[in-house]
Structure 1
């Protein structure tokens, strides 16, 4: 049977309708799941996962504002050191296992420098 025959057109329509039904069912399941996670006052709250730039920018902002929380800064600096790519040249990526990103690397490097890491330290030298 050729794809241009009337029977083929009927089959194509059935496939499209079945696909549309499955799509609508998937959308409804997603809607129900999302609404189940909504808080009583109407908001949602999910964990924010980010690359190193938000952490780095927060350290830099604390220095810019001259409102440095030393304990928080040390935790964030420790995090930046922990996610630095050690198997390559020492930069940072936008996501775990991703390629080294120049923007992420520059921000993380300067944040660590602002936090007190000596540029002569091994992890700082590798990042350059």
Structure 2
């Protein structure tokens, strides 16, 4: 699931059991795009079910092995992984006007695909 709002976007890792093999790539990515209130409701359900929720964040511009290793280790720490993704404007404030190299939508798609 992906949330795009304000400063961050969140990607929520779903377990393999919850995935439908028949979903095509586009609908799979679109199904991860949530409003903030939808994500809040999902988090409440997971907490009620005593799921262990792990949160991390980053820019994830030009994804490399360090990012993949970091996210894999974070995913292993709980049942659910929520990844905050800095917006383009946030990255420009942090790293300068030449960044990000990849726009927010591209970074979201790459992360969503990797986490699916």
The reply to whether TM is greater than 0.5 is no
Superposition TM-score tier, normalisation by shorter sequence: under 0.3
Higher relative contact order (CA 8 A, sep 6+): 2
Larger Rg: 1
TM-score (norm 1): 0.23
TM-score scaled by length of structure 2: 0.24
Structure 1 or 2: more helix by fraction: 1
Whose strand fraction is larger, Structure 1's or Structure 2's? 2
